[in-house]
Amino acid sequence: MLFALIASPQDSRADDPIGQIKTLSGTVTVTRGGAPIKAAIGDHVMQADEIATGSDGAVGITFADNSMMSLGPQSKLDLDQFQFDTTTHAGVFNSSLKAGTLAVKSGQIVQQTPFAMHVQTPAALLGVRGTEFVVRADGAAN
Amino acid sequence: MISARRLVAISALFLLGACASKDNLVVVIPEENGHIGAVQVESGGSTTLLTGAYAALGAGSGSSHMKPVQVASTEVGQIFGTALSAQPIPPKTYTLYFISDSDDLTPASKDAFEQVFGEIARRKAAELAVTGFTDTLGDPAYNDQLSLKRAKAVRELFVARGLKAEDIVAAGRGERDLLVPTGPQKSEPRNRRVEITVR
């Protein structure tokens, strides 16, 4: 009974897609398990993916909790941790902007639990209460 | 007395300083429907809650001590224009209701069901989140399962119309997020619903 309360049947698994690429221009790569792959609209992203844009690149992603992130050129974003329970909306979303520009709209994770979404940059750790902000990180894109 | 030339030099220094202090930058974006945006920033050993439109902190290259900076909307456009233009179309949600004690949609909900296809067509890559809800009649854990069952039934309606099952996530929220707030053990048709989010 206790187990049933804790383990929801809709818990996300580590190999589940956490989001989908909705917009893309120029060069965009997704690195999964060390191998960079050229990204396309419709591709899914997973926890631990690293997203990078070239000097002509931009990309927009919508995540499973309806949060959205988009990157400008010469940017690098690591999707460190994403957990989302579609029944309770409990979850965490931690990412790292290593370089470049990022626009964020928070979603159901933050709506349920303020500050459950974090963006780490070389200069700061951002805790998100919602909903829209932009951040630039001064760092190497490659 | 400070000479005019010296003043120009000082201004130039200030300008340089202003630019350098934004290599690292966080800006809260103004929002619709009166919501006040807020981001908590931990930097250089202190914590700041940034709230409201264009509240901003910046730091120079290599610095990890962000300080308040003035940022105009035009500057946000210059620095973040490409990232902001790449934002996806926001998710859009439709609510479907069922005729009491049946699996049949109400006439208004049949219209909403059709509108979902138009919303999908607007997007280059679309996914659906189908979320079931119950009223407060019955046990909450049972309602979690019941709402998921309803969501899965609606997912089948979309699959029957040609959408791929893997593009549709079905979820049950049980008696959370009641559309019409009620006490426990209350039958309320408007709470027995399924929401379709196109994203």
Asked if B42 and A124 come within 8 Å (Cβ–Cβ), the reply is yes
- CATH assignment, B92-198: 3.30.1330.60
DSSP-derived secondary structure letter, B191: G
| 3-class DSSP assignment, residue B150 | helix
Residue A101 lies in a domain: yes
Average pLDDT over residues B124-134: 96
Confidence of residue B172 (pLDDT cuts 50, 70, 90): very high
Tell me if chain B has a CB within 8 Å of the CB of A99.
Answer: no
Residue A82 lies in a domain: yes
Question: Beta strand pairing status for B56-59 and B67-68?
Answer: antiparallel
| B contact residues 51-90, partner A, Cβ 8 Å cutoff | 57, 59-66, 76, 79-90
Does the pLDDT value for residue B7 go beyond 90?
A: no
**Nearest CA to CA, how far is B185 from chain A (Å)?**
20
Which of A3-7, A73-77, B14-18 is least confident?
Answer: A3-7
Query: What is the span of the domain harbouring residue A29?
Result: 17-137
Phi and psi of B33, rounded to 5°? 50, 35
Q: Which chain B residues touch A10 with a CB distance below 8 Å? A: 148, 171-172
Tell me if chain B has a CB within 8 Å of the CB of A140.
Answer: no
Residue A3 lies in a domain: no
Confidence of residue A16 (pLDDT cuts 50, 70, 90): confident
Give pLDDT, residue B93. 97
| A contact residues 26-85, partner B, Cβ 8 Å cutoff | 41-42, 58-62, 64, 66, 68, 70-73, 75
More confident call, B57 vs B107: B57
The interface pTM score, or ipTM, of the predicted complex is 0.91
Domain ranges across chain B: 21-85, 92-198
Instruction: Report the residue from B22, B41, B90 with minimal CB separation from A126.
Output: B41
By the 8 A CB rule, do B105 and B95 touch?
A: no
Give pLDDT, residue A20. 98
Tell me if chain A has a CB within 8 Å of the CB of B25.
Answer: yes
**Nearest CA to CA, how far is B150 from chain A (Å)?**
13
Confidence of residue B104 (pLDDT cuts 50, 70, 90): confident
Report chain B's mean pLDDT, rounded to a whole number: 89
Block residue for tokens 């329970």: A85
Does the pLDDT value for residue A4 go beyond 50?
A: no
Give pLDDT, residue B105. 80
Residue A76 lies in a domain: yes
Q: Which chain B residues touch A73 with a CB distance below 8 Å? A: 82
Give pLDDT, residue A91. 98
By the 8 A CB rule, do B28 and B51 touch?
A: yes
Residue A9 lies in a domain: no
What is the SS3 assignment for B103-137? CCECHHHHHHHHHHHHHHHCCCCCCEEEEEECCCC
Looking at the structure of chain A, the number of domains it has is 1
Q: What dihedral angle (degrees, nearest 10) is formed by the CA atoms of A88, A124, B89, A115?
A: 20
Does the pLDDT value for residue A21 go beyond 90?
A: yes
Confidence of residue B101 (pLDDT cuts 50, 70, 90): low
Block residue for tokens 């931990």: B42
Which of A129-133, A137-141, B154-158 is least confident?
Answer: A137-141
Q: B63-72 — which CB contacts under 8 Å span 24+ positions?
A: B63/A123, B63/B23, B63/B24, B64/A122, B64/A123, B64/A124, B64/B24, B65/A123, B66/A123, B66/A124, B66/B24, B66/B26, B66/B41, B67/B21, B69/B18, B69/B21, B69/B22, B69/B25, B71/B22, B71/B25, B71/B27
Tens-digit pLDDT profile for residues A103-123: 999 999 999 999 999 999 999
Q: Which chain B residue shows the shortest CA-CA distance from A98?
A: B24
Confidence of residue A77 (pLDDT cuts 50, 70, 90): very high
Tens-digit pLDDT profile for residues A46-64: 999 999 999 999 999 999 9
DSSP-derived secondary structure letter, B1: -
Return d(Cα B21, Cα A100) in angstroms, integer: 15
Report chain A's mean pLDDT, rounded to a whole number: 91
Other CB atoms within 10 A of residue A16 CB = 15
Does the pLDDT value for residue A18 go beyond 70?
A: yes
Tell me if chain A has a CB within 8 Å of the CB of B193.
Answer: no
Asked if A132 and B66 come within 8 Å (Cβ–Cβ), the reply is no
Q: In what order do the strands lie in the sheet with B168-172?
A: B92-97, B193-198, B128-133, B168-172
Give pLDDT, residue A10. 46
Which residues are CB-contacts of B189 (< 8 A; sequence separation ≥ 6)?
B97, B100, B135
Residue A11 lies in a domain: no
Q: Which chain B residues touch A129 with a CB distance below 8 Å? A: 37-40, 49
Give pLDDT, residue B99. 73
% residues pLDDT > 70 (chain A): 88
Distance (Å) of CA A23 to CA A37, A62, B103? 16, 9, 36
**Selection from B170, B178, B125 nearest residue B150 by Cα:** B170
Does the pLDDT value for residue B17 go beyond 50?
A: no
